[in-house]
Each structure stands twice: as C-alpha cells, then as structure tokens.
Amino acid sequence: MTKKTHLNWSNAKSSTPSQEYFYNTPVGLLSIKVHANILLKTEWLTKIKNARPGHLPETILQPLNHYWQTAAMDFAVPLAIQGTHFQQKVWQALCHIPLGQTHTYGELAKELNTSPRALANACRCNPFPLIIPCHRIVAKTGLGGYAGQTSGTMIEIKRALLQHENKLTHEL
C-alpha cells in the first residue's frame, strides 16, 4: 500500500536567499523554508495563529495537498542535506513505515541496531516533520513524544496525524 520513499538529499549552496511560506493544515500551521527550490525545513508553528500562506511552489503544494486528501506522502522535492549519517539512516527508516501503521521506538531501534533513546533523539531532530513521518513512532505504552514534547500542542498534532492516516487508509 505504501511505496518506499527514498529521501532526495541535495546540497543547498546558492546565493539565492531562502523564503518562508506558511501552509494551513487541518491540524495546524506548517512553516516551510525553501532555498533555490530545495526544501530547508518544515516546522509546526504553535504560537502563530494567522500567518499569510503565501504562494507555495506547485512542486511543494501538490504533494502536501495530496497528503491531506489521501494520507499518502509522495514528496520528490530535494531536501537540504542535514543531520548526521545516523540521523539520516533513522529518517530514511521512518519513511518505510507503512501508511496507517506505527512502530514503537523499541521495534525500530532493534531493526536499526541502536537504542530507543538514540532513535528518539534522531526523531526529535527531524527537520521535515510530516514529510519524514516521525509521528508514526510511538512508545510501547502510548503515543510517546513528538518534536521534543511529550504533552501539549505537538502531541495533539501527532494524534491528529495518526488519526488522519488511519481513517483514510481504512477507507481505501
């Protein structure tokens, strides 16, 4: 059901200034930073309520809209190279978790021959939430954390993303 996504890493060196766009989703506002057609970062904004969305490039807008319609993320835009080799390995593994499913920190840590804590730290550093689905990693006894938080708005976003994906995958 889910195609295995290979992250498209790219070097973001250019004299072109970066731009920030805002994308309103059903679960919150997403900041999207782009530099010369390379995605630099996505970040859930919990404090800004009414940012002007701007005109996102179609190459970014289409896959995001597709996700909210189908829960499938098919993102081909190059991502700025970030993180350590280990973090990139974890982020790539997150992209292989099937849509509508979750893995525990322990399960994925065992698969990657690392510790759950190291895996959680790599998830916390994910520069592309939503695109790299770290929300699909849960604790053995609950939701676990999301974006470095274990309660509050970020956990509500994680819960909403999982519900969205679960609902749409069961409708297909």
Cα(35)–Cα(19) distance, integer angstroms: 6
User: Which amino acid type is present at position 149?
Assistant: Q
Phi, psi of 93, deg, nearest 5: -65, -35
Active site residues: 134
The answer for 142, left when phi > 0, alpha when psi is -120 to 50, beta otherwise, is left
At 168, list the tokens: 């749409």
**Angle, helix 116-124 to helix 85-94, in steps of 10 degrees:** 90
